[in-house]
Amino acid sequence: MLDLRRQYDGIREDVLSAIARVCDSQSFILGPEVEALERDITALTGAACAVGCASGTEALWLALVAAAVKPGDSVITTAFSFFASASAIVRAGATPVFVDVDPGTLNLDAALVVRQIKTKRPDNLRAILPVHLYGQCADMDAFDRIVQENAKENAEEYSHEFGVAIIEDAAQAIGAEWNGRGAGSLGITAAFSFYPTKNLSAYGDAGIVTTTRPEMAEHMRQLRNHGSPRRYYHDEFGWNGRMDAIQAAVLRVKLAHIADWNERRLQHAATYDQLFASSGLTSGRTSNQTSNQLTAPVRLLSRSPQAKHVFHQYVIRAQRRDELRKFLAERKIGSEVYYPLPLHLQPVFSYLGLKPGDLPVSEQAAREVLALPMFPELTEAEIRWVVESIADFYA
């Protein structure tokens, strides 16, 4: 599924000397390594500022609080994501409002967000939090339009200049683009994860939050350090959300490779696409073409023409998904289900009152999605073996 050792073998000397540099400096938390990483991420994403922190989850919380999300507010987000996309909203004191996903991309469906706002506007709607799922940006043009229209219609309701904020969960999307603009520069704030399986990954937990607003970056620098503008003086309740210097040093080594690694992921995705098309398993159709839905054993997800996808995951929709997964495991082919239970059906969110059938696209996706092996060092022979094995299963 993911063999990190192959990556390590190629960068071992550089990583070890970066770690040695931190040990020699005896400066272990924040400091010059983290500041250098923040500058590099700013350059990569096109955001105005970046603030290094302890994890992607922490980055989401910082992004929400800096965008003025507070207790009593509502935040619209997708029902089909990792738990942290929603739990960070709760940690900020707000209520997540789950909306279904687009059946082609599985990203938050902007048309359904509009319908939610028009028919059942959540109380104190403060933000929309789209997730760039699997490394492909959500429809940011549509979300921009929603914000603009909303600002016009509800001008008097907002004391804050931006009304409803767009906050990107870019945890899976480092290096991704929408209309040539980097993920992380598309919303007011954006959260990235450097969890070890991510396209750009640390040797432990780490994350970063980017913003187009320098004043929000200043606020987040305080929040990640106990709300403290100056040592032992506290203006508000923050937390220990700081980044380790060793993680920043490792990430800076890897950052030099990220464009090449993402390019290789794109090539692998093209190889998968082509092999699936010639296998007859998909008939080359995508999952939003309903004529194909009942017949093809495997369906591919849609690609937005505006998006540069970075294929954090290569995900198919498969009939008899769980049996297929077992079959692949017997051949020692790794696969994973992101995600088996949509957020609105997680027991911890039962207080929101949603039930099975309420968000059917997410629920169906949870039954069908399967992520296949995807990492830069994967070989074409391995990809062929995966697709041949899938064909064997359905034969």
Ligand X SMILES: Cc1ncc(COP(=O)(O)O)c(C=O)c1O
Candidate residues 42, 136, 172, 199; the one interacting with ligand X per rule CB under 6 A: 172
Query: DSSP secondary structure string, 182-204?
Result: ETTSSSSEEEEE--TTSSS--SS
Residue closer to ligand X, measured from CB, 57 or 247? 57
Asked if 287 interacts with ligand X (CB under 6 A), we say no
Residues binding ligand X: number (CB under 6 A): 16
Q: Segment contacting ligand X (CB under 6 A): 41-49, 142-150, 168-176, 354-362?
A: 168-176
Asked if 81 interacts with ligand X (CB under 6 A), we say yes
Residue closer to ligand X, measured from CB, 209 or 298? 209
- Residue among 122, 61, 67 nearest 92 (CA): 61
- Bridge-based pairing state of the strands 95-99 and 49-53: unpaired
Minimum CB distance to ligand X, residue 174 (Å): 11
Asked if 84 interacts with ligand X (CB under 6 A), we say yes
Asked if 362 interacts with ligand X (CB under 6 A), we say no
Residue with the CB atom nearest ligand X in the bound state: 56
**Tokens 């309903």 belong to residue:** 290
Instruction: Give, as ranges, the residues between 206 and 265 that touch ligand X (CB under 6 A).
Output: 207
Written as six digits, the tokens of 29 are 């938390």
Residue closer to ligand X, measured from CB, 42 or 85? 85
- Residue among 223, 257, 255, 254 nearest 53 (CA): 223
Residue closer to ligand X, measured from CB, 198 or 221? 198
Minimum CB distance to ligand X, residue 159 (Å): 29
State which amino acid sits at residue 77.
T
Candidate residues 7, 42, 45, 57; the one interacting with ligand X per rule CB under 6 A: 57
Mark 106-145 with x for binding to ligand X (rule: CB under 6 A) and - for no binding.
Answer: -------------------------x--------------
Instruction: Give, as ranges, the residues between 193 and 212 that touch ligand X (CB under 6 A).
Output: 193, 195, 205, 207
Classify burial at 395, counting beta carbons within 10 Å of its beta carbon; exposed 0-12, middle 13-18, buried 19 or more: exposed
Strand blocks (E) in 43-108: 49-53, 74-78, 95-99
Candidate residues 85, 87, 107, 210; the one interacting with ligand X per rule CB under 6 A: 85
Burial 311-338 (b: 16+ CB within 10 A, else e): bbbbbbbbbebeebbebbeeeebebbbb
What gap in Å lies between CA 93 and CA 296, rounded to an integer? 44
Minimum CB distance to ligand X, residue 44 (Å): 18
Using alpha carbons only, what angle is made at residue 299 by residues 331 and 186, rounded to the nearest 5 degrees? 110
Contact 85/131 with Cβ under 8 angstroms? yes
**Tokens 């063999």 belong to residue:** 3
Minimum CB distance to ligand X, residue 134 (Å): 9
Minimum CB distance to ligand X, residue 230 (Å): 28
In this structure, the dihedral spanned by the alpha carbons of residues 140, 143, 147 and 153, taken in order and rounded to 10 degrees, is 150
Instruction: Give, as ranges, the residues between 176 and 195 that touch ligand X (CB under 6 A).
Output: 193, 195
Backbone phi and psi for residue 239, each to the nearest 5 degrees, phi listed first: -160, 170
Mark 13-52 with x for binding to ligand X (rule: CB under 6 A) and - for no binding.
Answer: ----------------------------------------
Minimum CB distance to ligand X, residue 356 (Å): 23
Residue closer to ligand X, measured from CB, 82 or 311? 82
What gap in Å lies between CA 46 and CA 221, rounded to an integer? 19
Written as six digits, the tokens of 201 are 């990954």
Minimum CB distance to ligand X, residue 167 (Å): 12
Strand blocks (E) in 216-313: 298-300, 307-308
Mark 60-79 with x for binding to ligand X (rule: CB under 6 A) and - for no binding.
Answer: x-------------------
Asked if 56 interacts with ligand X (CB under 6 A), we say yes
Residue closer to ligand X, measured from CB, 258 or 298? 258
Contacts with ligand X by CB under 6 A lie at: 55-57, 60, 81-82, 84-85, 131, 169, 171-172, 193, 195, 205, 207
